[in-house]
Structure 1
Amino acid sequence: MSATLPDLSLIEARILGVLIEKERTTPDVYPLTVNSLTAGCNQKTSRDPVLSLKESEVQEALEALRSRNLVLETYGASGRVLRYAHNFGKTYGLPGPMVPLLAVLALRGPQTASELRANCERLHSFADASAVEAYLEELAGRECPLAVKLPRQPGAREQRWMHLLCGPVDVSAPLPAAAPSAGGLEARVQTLENRVAELEHLVQQLLARGE
């Protein structure tokens, strides 16, 4: 990170991830109040690790993010309740598709390109896992890298990626294996559904050509 963009804390990274997620999935309630932002940070699903933050902790982290122009304050249309919006992509100088990738990594922990593609579906639709991989490689190749590919785990077919928003990590140190979860099952189901749709499309093309 540059001097103007110091490493984020776990709470700060989680807040940015939630703001990016909710901007895409629930635009009618975005920007978020402290209360709704705290609830998003403490969700039991689609979060790794699961946190149990107090509003005071979220408020303190918001102040730190605001001082770095990563979060903006607004009273929205009502003009009564203070709300918060992210300024993540602009501050970090990131193209659109990279923002949801880093958000999902910050929310769900290390993932493979295929898992990221499935988990990003509601935020951004990637053509395939190779498109996700290309953006991740670009993030890893920046002057101040924002992502890193982890060593392949025993028995794993794909390598996982991890964000570096909270600073560099020791990739030689073994990370805990991803625990089976509803979120992980959801990602695998989504990936399979995408592959079936691609195969069905290919079959239709072949039939149309009389092959």
Structure 2
Amino acid sequence: MNEDAAQDKPKPVPLSRDARRVLGVLVEKAKTTPDSYPLSVSGLISGSNQKSNRSPQLQLDEDDVLTALDELKQVGAAREIQGSGRVTKYRHAAYEWLDVDSPGAAIMTELLLRGPQTLGEIRTRASRMYALDDLNVTQQIVEQLIEKDLVEPLTPPGRGQTFSHKLYPPEERQYLEAKLEKQAAAAPSKSAPTKPSTTAVDALIARLETVNERIDALEKRLDELES
């Protein structure tokens, strides 16, 4: 790519909540249900509001989705095409807009659809779109996204470290920081006088990860039924 082309290439910018959801749905459905992709407005409404693989739960209507699509088209993250039967459909341009490959797109999509997550959660959930062999592979991809200024750690390094995308507008980013600070301040008051052993903590975390995996499996089945 020459210098002029690189300068003309759209760069990622903060997106509204609805635009982030719609972009996430476009990438997700292209990966998980390619036969129904590109998506119509109706398909985007259904995908944005589905109960599984989404946080927070939203209730977007046609106007909300069309406004989000206008925002995505304006920044170069989505395109409008003519579908069969004269139905207008939409496809994402996330790979070019974010400058990511398939594993990077899968992780960004999960962060867009569910918000901040740990490496374990990212690996489990993004693997439905791109197989991530283990946590080391997941961490390598996350670090690449951090270098691209697309992802950032929200909590200190260590077990349970949380990561987020960097497409939040400033006001939402401030709210996220305040929420994390509140959680951190409340954490010491909930601790017991006697610290549990490392073995007990590891066992508890392992149990929680198992529960999360089962929940994600159930959500995947619900997603398949809703698609």
Specify the alignment match of 1:34 in structure 2.
41
Is the aligned partner of 1:150 residue 2:154? yes
Provide closer, same or farther for how the CA distance between residues 54 and 190 of structure 1 changes in structure 2, counting only shifts above 3 A: closer
TM-score by length of 1: 0.76
Distance 2:72 2:214 in 1: 35
Distance 1:41 1:190 in 2: 19
Specify the alignment match of 1:104 in structure 2.
110
Alignment of 1:45-194 (within 5 A): 45-76=52-83, 78-142=84-148, 145-152=149-156, 157-167=159-169, 169=173, 173-175=178-180, 187-189=212-214
Provide closer, same or farther for how the CA distance between residues 11 and 172 of structure 1 changes in structure 2, counting only shifts above 3 A: closer
Q: Which runs of 4+ in 1 moved over 3 A?
A: 2-5, 167-174, 184-187
Give the SS at the match of 1:84: strand
- Which one-letter code corresponds to 1:85 in the other structure? R
Gap runs ≥5 in structure 2 = 1-8, 184-208, 217-227
Distance 2:75 2:162 in 1: 29
Provide closer, same or farther for how the CA distance between residues 188 and 89 of structure 1 changes in structure 2, counting only shifts above 3 A: same
TM-score by length of 2: 0.71
- Which one-letter code corresponds to 1:92 in the other structure? L
Give the SS at the match of 2:102: coil
Gap runs ≥5 in structure 1 = 178-183, 192-211
- Which one-letter code corresponds to 1:61 in the other structure? A
Alpha-carbon displacement from aligned partner over 1:187-206 (angstroms, at most 9, x marks no partner): 42389xxxxxxxxxxxxxxx
- Which one-letter code corresponds to 2:154 in the other structure? L
